[in-house]
Chain A
Amino acid sequence: MIKLTPVSMCFLLFTFIHILLTEGCGWHATYAESNYYRNLQQIEHLMTAQAKNVVLVGSSIGSRVHPNEFLSDLGFINLGLGGTVPVTALKILQREKITPQLLLVELSGATLAEPKKNDDLILRQQNKFNPLLWRYIPVTRPTSRPSSMLYSLLKIAKEPVHPMSWFEKYKLNANDHIISNAQDGSYSFSDEVKNSELVALVKSFKNQGSRILFVHLPTGRNRDIYSYDIAQQAAIYLASDIIDLDAISKNKNVIINYTDGLHLDRTSAILCSMWLAQAISNFLKQADPHLVRAF
């Protein structure tokens, strides 16, 4: 018959090693084997981070922008949730009563799309997320999931990135690439926008003091639902300040690579993170002192 003491002892040993690796050595999963767990990782960051000055809301396209060394100083949180539309991430922010200084909304085919099954699932599950559990029992955190850690390890090994000097070559200039549709920030949203829920949510954050910026990331064009036309349409309808990383990549003649014809690969994602960080810095230089002080 099985004795329970050795089982408990081994369990404690496994848990101790796990905590040592994650908390002691700081080894956390940066990718996940599925959209759902990648989304949980993003939500974990949102709920456990101290600084939440800049939040990017969007779909899996935006989720590739890692809060890496370029963005970490800004208090950047990525709430790009795979398989969902930006409205869902905005609703999560609203529920959690988080009002970032800078709200970055992903501009893609998903921006104007209606929420679907995945969005419902994430919002329903959100009631069950337990930040307290994540905070006090580290092994339950999505970034500590053993399978996600293994997946991250394999992904990083499979997709090596260029050295830092390579990225330095493509740095932005001081005035690069904020396309302002309304320089004074007093832009208004067109009533023609099909997704009225998005407009209402963005307006609500704006009224609470968030500065809204739209971010257009490069995407592969081989999928109809993410067509460039829809993104352009969204840009016209939403008529706000846009950080156009897609245009930057074209101007600088950088070849952007995609893992599946749609999502940025690791190197391209890091490059876009760098551009985004620099574009935000440039934007802050022009912004009102109140906003700058908040950082």
Chain B
Amino acid sequence: MLFNSVIFFFLFLPSVFFINYFVVQKWEISQILFLTISSLFFYGYTDISLVILLVFSLVVNGLSTHWLMHPDWSPFRRKLLFYFTLLINLGLLAFFKYAYLFGRLVLSPERHYALLDTLQSIPLPVGISFYTFQAISLIFDVYHRQTEGLENLYAQRNPLKFQLYIWFYIAFFPQLVAGPIVKGHEFMNQIAKKHIHNIDWGHAVKYIIIGYFLKSVIADNLNEVTLTLQSENMPKLAKIDLVLLLYGYSFQIFADFAGYSYIAIGLGRLFGYKFPINFNYPYLSKSISEFWRRWHISLSSWLKEYLYFSLGGNRKGALRTYVNLMITMFLGGLWHGAAWSYALWGAAHGILLAGERLLTGKKINAFFWLNHNISSIAQVFYTFNLVSVLWLLFKLSDFRDVIHYFMSLWENPWYRDSGNLFIVLVYGTPVVIYHAIKYKQIHLDSKGQCRLIGSERIEAICLSLMLWLIVSNIGLPGSFIYFQF
């Protein structure tokens, strides 16, 4: 079920909300049970067979977590179980997502086509990367005895309740298919009986409005023009159109994914759960490393904590740090999709991160000759353009199309009348404003996370404007870009 579908918004959500707060509200466990069942229904709505794989993952990870919590188990037994569960999780991910890609490397063409036939007969498990990563983070934390939020639950000695809560943590519908990837210790402590009068309506409604605005008004409308990049007309486009469409896609992918995250956060608040912010004005970043601290924060912190640190992080010398960065980003790229273009995208980010680390270590700043304010703007502009160019690898899965893009950019005329300019300007402007109003606060006044829009009065006007545009100006509804991941 999609957040932007009529069935979700007008039927599923009101029903689940009503039953959760007015029918099963008496006990904590009845609320959790109901929300878990609703989440499975949400996941299996379009294809019931998808639920089988999810339930399998829930059972394996639920049982493993329970056993890993056991105080009397020997380290060897725990290690064995930990690696076994990790293998199952990664194995599922590898089979359902990467079998075709890797099969091509090792199988003969005939066998590869046979594998393709088999894979095409199996429905693609939507969001498998998200729930698998969430499950891995749980078993990883528990294995390393970081069991905050689970100890009390385990101490109750009720294995069924323990299982149910683990299932709920992994499968809770707002974050099930496209994140944010919530860590166990961020979520388990929040599980409690929820009352309707405790709902933080202000934040819930704000996040939901911003989320739907970004997705349905900005991303879906931009999608109509950015599709041209994948069409056979792309090599005929004028230079200005090619650049505009690239920026348009940059705005679109932000609006699409940040939109989903905000909706998820808002829905979480409606049910009394706080999810971490996933996007913190990423296009205001002054470097690629800052970009990754602001873009898809839950994934980048996951990669850092569970992959980069496991590889040794920066503790094993400079060279090894660069290699670790490259490996982490390469695998992070591949996580986004089963195509080498994603891996290349990740590797390119890895190279840039390593390069930046090298330059920062030597205290080299390419914009040293500019005054502070102009240098700051130049760095933001440079990073945004660099990130946007790399999004091409995201949009165009065939590398030859990327080459065609640059060839067309070189050879084609500057300008040809088209509607692209209007659409990118109209729908890109809100994304630019969204970032621009925070520029001063982030780069010149203070650091860190800041208020989403501004003063209360301006915030109310902006939110109502967004709501009005959601009603009157939505684009052709499409699925979320990050669903494929």
Q: Assess whether B201 is interfacial by the CB under 8 Å rule.
A: yes
In the complex, how many angstroms separate the beta carbon of A194 from the nearest chain B beta carbon? 22
Q: Assess whether B221 is interfacial by the CB under 8 Å rule.
A: yes
Question: Which residues between 399 and 435 of chain B lie within 8 Å of chain A, taking CB atoms?
Answer: 416-419, 422-423, 426-427
Q: Assess whether B463 is interfacial by the CB under 8 Å rule.
A: yes
A34, B456: Cβ atoms closer than 8 Å: no
Chain A 10-29 interface 0/1 with B at a Cβ cutoff of 8 Å (1 = within): 11011100100000000000
Asked if A146 meets B422 with Cβ closer than 8 Å, knowing A3-B456, A260-B417, the reply is: no
B473, A145: Cβ atoms closer than 8 Å: yes
Cβ contacts under 8 Å, B209 to chain A: 7
In the complex, how many angstroms separate the beta carbon of A142 from the nearest chain B beta carbon? 10
Please report the C-alpha to C-alpha distance between residue A36 and residue B201 in the assembled complex, in whole angstroms: 36
Determine which of B225, B457, B463, B473 lies in contact with A146 in the assembled complex, contact meaning CB atoms within 8 Å: B473
Q: Assess whether A132 is interfacial by the CB under 8 Å rule.
A: no
Is the interface on chain B under 10, 10 to 19, 20 to 34, or 35 or more residues? 20 to 34
Q: Assess whether A150 is interfacial by the CB under 8 Å rule.
A: yes
B461, A10: Cβ atoms closer than 8 Å: yes
Cβ contacts under 8 Å, B75 to chain A: none
A11, B202: Cβ atoms closer than 8 Å: no
Asked if A2 meets B419 with Cβ closer than 8 Å, knowing A7-B205, A147-B221, A147-B473, the reply is: no
A11, B468: Cβ atoms closer than 8 Å: yes
A34, B468: Cβ atoms closer than 8 Å: no
Q: Assess whether B464 is interfacial by the CB under 8 Å rule.
A: yes
B202, A1: Cβ atoms closer than 8 Å: yes
Cβ contacts under 8 Å, A157 to chain B: none
Asked if A14 meets B456 with Cβ closer than 8 Å, knowing A1-B202, A2-B202, the reply is: no
Which of B205, B422, B427, B464: most chain A CB closer than 10 A? B464
How many residues of chain A are within 8 Å of chain B by beta carbon?
29
B464, A11: Cβ atoms closer than 8 Å: yes
Please report the C-alpha to C-alpha distance between residue A42 and residue B202 in the assembled complex, in whole angstroms: 40
B426, A150: Cβ atoms closer than 8 Å: yes
Q: Assess whether A108 is interfacial by the CB under 8 Å rule.
A: no
Q: Assess whether B469 is interfacial by the CB under 8 Å rule.
A: yes
Asked if A7 meets B472 with Cβ closer than 8 Å, knowing A2-B202, A2-B459, A33-B422, the reply is: no
Please report the C-alpha to C-alpha distance between residue A165 and residue B426 in the assembled complex, in whole angstroms: 36
Determine which of B201, B426, B460, B472 lies in contact with A18 in the assembled complex, contact meaning CB atoms within 8 Å: B472
Q: Interface SS of chain A: helix, strand, loop or mixed?
A: helix
Please report the C-alpha to C-alpha distance between residue A295 and residue B224 in the assembled complex, in whole angstroms: 39
Q: Interface SS of chain B: helix, strand, loop or mixed?
A: helix
Cβ contacts under 8 Å, B201 to chain A: 4
Cβ contacts under 8 Å, B200 to chain A: 1
Which of B205, B206, B465, B473: most chain A CB closer than 10 A? B473
Q: Assess whether A154 is interfacial by the CB under 8 Å rule.
A: yes
Q: Assess whether B26 is interfacial by the CB under 8 Å rule.
A: no
In the complex, how many angstroms separate the beta carbon of B334 from the nearest chain A beta carbon? 29
Chain A 139-164 interface 0/1 with B at a Cβ cutoff of 8 Å (1 = within): 11000111100110010000000000
Q: Assess whether B203 is interfacial by the CB under 8 Å rule.
A: yes
Q: Assess whether A289 is interfacial by the CB under 8 Å rule.
A: no
Determine which of A6, A33, A147 lies in contact with B460 in the assembled complex, contact meaning CB atoms within 8 Å: A6
B472, A139: Cβ atoms closer than 8 Å: yes
Q: Assess whether B476 is interfacial by the CB under 8 Å rule.
A: yes
Cβ contacts under 8 Å, A7 to chain B: 205, 209, 460, 463-464, 467
B468, A2: Cβ atoms closer than 8 Å: no
Q: Assess whether A68 is interfacial by the CB under 8 Å rule.
A: no
Chain A 216-243 interface 0/1 with B at a Cβ cutoff of 8 Å (1 = within): 0000000000000000000000000000
A260, B418: Cβ atoms closer than 8 Å: yes
Which of A7, A140, A146: most chain B CB closer than 10 A? A7
16 CB-based A-B contacts, threshold 8 Å: A1-B200, A2-B203, A2-B456, A2-B463, A7-B205, A10-B464, A11-B468, A15-B471, A33-B419, A34-B419, A125-B476, A139-B471, A140-B471, A145-B472, A145-B473, A260-B417
- Report which A residues bind B (CB closer than 8 A): 1-4, 6-11, 13-15, 18, 33-34, 36, 125, 139-140, 144-147, 150-151, 154, 259-260
